[in-house]
Structure 1
Amino acid sequence: MFHRCFLTAAGLAIAFFAAPASTAPLQEGVDTAFDQIVSAAADAGLAPVVAIDHARLAAAEGVEMPPARVQIFSDPAVNTTLLAQDIRAGLDLPFRALAYAGADAVQVVYTSADFLKRRYGLQDAEALAAFDAALAPALDGLDGITPMPVPTQGLAADYGILALQSRHDVPETVARLRAIVAVQSDTVWFGEIDFTAEAAALGVDLPPAVLLLFGGPAPGGVAMAKFPSIGVDAFYQKLFVHAAPAGGSVVLFNSIVALAELHYGASAPPHAMLDERLTATFAKALE
């Protein structure tokens, strides 16, 4: 179940933002690639979750960054099969693909089954193949662009995953995280996915598991300025909350430093600052 809670009236105004002349050709290319991904995903029967225009959101807050747009879309059956193997994999579900301006050309990056296999130690070859097979049609037919998976060189088990323990159950933990996100003046709420409800609709029982999606256009734009490909997982922040076996909940989220190092082999001070801010904010919510 996906609950939509998109942008404020100020956020909606970004639709009318015009890219600077120097980036306009790349912006047009990113928009074209993004539209092709969205159309192909719909034709393949994949359910849209949320579309995020990183650069235009950042520009509305006075921050410049390269054109970048991410589409998140879902197949509940694929999600459920993988979550049944390791509930923590919900941090990297559902599907997502980012069209962005590289150094001199438009590029597309996506998360592959190999990424999931390496990060969570998933071993079900059939389920992993089904993930890639379901995603493939959304990436077919891009004009002059070969989609590339998120790099996996150096990716090991639990790479870049930050975890916090909560003594509260999943509904209470989610409510507390929602509340603390809502009071951040520079943050936009994008929505949430209830993976347990998705599974129940398919007749499968999963422990309580919810993915929260939100982002900070200004700090996110600064973090992505020279690292645009991390926008497949960053700028919008993913908070994954699942029930802990011994009671309470576990909250998982990505280290921005780790994402930058995975994609580019280096990170920048804003990435560490974001990691520190997010960790402190979430920890406060769980007190």
Structure 2
Amino acid sequence: MLKTLSLERVAAGAMMMALITNVATASPQQTAVDDSHAVLESVIETAGFDIVASIDHARLAAAESVEMPPSRVLIFSDADVSAPILRDNIRAGLDLPFRVLSYADKGSAKVVYTGAEFLQVRHGLTNTAALEDFDDKLNEVTKNVSAIAAPIEGLTRNYGIIELESKLSVSEAVASLTKTVRGQDDTIWFGEVRFSEAASEAGEQVPEAVLLLFGGPAPGGVAMADFPAIGLDAFCQKLLVYAGDNGGSVVIFNDIAAFAELHYGASAKPHHALNERLTATFTQALQ
């Protein structure tokens, strides 16, 4: 599904191993987060999923002299599971592929994942069989850890989605956005997921759509310092580009403040500042 990303993923993995090696003594919370992350990663690999990204938020932030609680997210895919959901609503790609976050919050280690009910409510999905398959796969992955689904109280259709439109085609928009993101010196590029190509390889057809994955360890670490659970949805940052109904492209991404409100009932100045920065940056790139 992501053959073109292999070298970048190897480089990112090497970076993470270097960061982990440089930590002489891990706290009990860090050890617990590392252990649950390792269990999840092992099950994911054994089950044959494609690991798109494995991101250690806290250690990446620490490398930029920013402190935050331990937090590690796994993003992994199965085109056979994703394709029916994307046919139902291509915007659901913003919450695909699978995501599971191991993190420490208020003195304890936790595991949270994005479940099918979250996708159903946020994107108005109606394909029950596809959603059940999605949750079955997640249950298989999380069966050996104590995990809970992300909250849906207060969640509504299109909740926390910032949307931009462009006259650029999907390929043009992706190229411009990628160049812009890669040009920022405080940002790490984690890769992309070409949903339509992956679905085609699985024998399915979905609208043209590409998910871009990237993040800023320093600003992200500041934003997650008191809100580590938002590492599930808001970091790394996910940018979905898909074909518009009347030509051009549509770009959607997560409102960081909205997800802080969803998980914690409150947001902070760094969340709003990042929303403003991202919106301005992407708007300029799509001109």
TM-score grouping bracket, smaller chain normalisation: over 0.9
The alpha-carbon deviation at position 43 of structure 1 amounts to 2.2
Q: 1:14 aligns with which of 15, 19, 22?
A: 19
- Cα deviation code 1:71-114 (max 9, x no counterpart): 01111011101000000000000001000012121100000000
Q: 1:138 aligns with which of 126, 136, 141?
A: 141
Q: 1:50 aligns with which of 47, 50, 53?
A: 53
The alpha-carbon deviation at position 15 of structure 1 amounts to 3.0
Compute the TM-score of the two structures, normalised by the length of structure 1: 0.95
How many Å separate the matches in 2 of 1:99 and 1:9? 17
Where does structure 1 differ by over 3 angstroms across 4 or more consecutive aligned residues?
Answer: 6-13
How many Å separate the matches in 1 of 2:65 and 2:240? 30
Compute the TM-score of the two structures, normalised by the length of structure 2: 0.95
Q: Equivalent residue for 1:195?
A: 195
Which letter does structure 1 place at the counterpart of 2:31?
Answer: E
How many residues end up aligned between the 2 structures?
282
Q: Equivalent residue for 2:86?
A: 83
Which letter does structure 1 place at the counterpart of 2:220?
Answer: G
Q: Equivalent residue for 1:154?
A: 154
Q: Equivalent residue for 2:255?
A: 255
How many Å separate the matches in 2 of 1:277 and 1:109? 27
- Cα deviation code 1:223-261 (max 9, x no counterpart): 000000110112310000000010000001000000100
How many Å separate the matches in 1 of 2:265 and 2:83? 33
How many Å separate the matches in 2 of 1:199 and 1:137? 22
The alpha-carbon deviation at position 192 of structure 1 amounts to 0.4
How many Å separate the matches in 2 of 1:262 and 1:203? 36
Q: 1:33 aligns with which of 31, 36, 45?
A: 36
Which letter does structure 2 place at the counterpart of 1:57?
Answer: L
The alpha-carbon deviation at position 125 of structure 1 amounts to 1.2
How many Å separate the matches in 2 of 1:134 and 1:51? 18
Q: CA separation of 1:95/1:10 partners in 2, compared to 1, >3 Å: closer, same or farther?
A: closer
Q: CA separation of 1:42/1:180 partners in 2, compared to 1, >3 Å: closer, same or farther?
A: same
Q: Equivalent residue for 1:227?
A: 227
How many Å separate the matches in 2 of 1:30 and 1:246? 46
Contact 1:241 1:251 in 2 (8 A): yes
Aligned positions of 1:107-186 closer than 5 A: 107-142=110-145, 146-186=146-186
- Cα deviation code 1:142-193 (max 9, x no counterpart): 2xxx211110001000000000001111110000000000111100000001
Task: Extract unaligned runs of 5+ from structure 1.
Answer: none
Task: Extract unaligned runs of 5+ from structure 2.
Answer: none
How many Å separate the matches in 1 of 2:232 and 2:97? 12
Q: CA RMSD in A?
A: 1.5
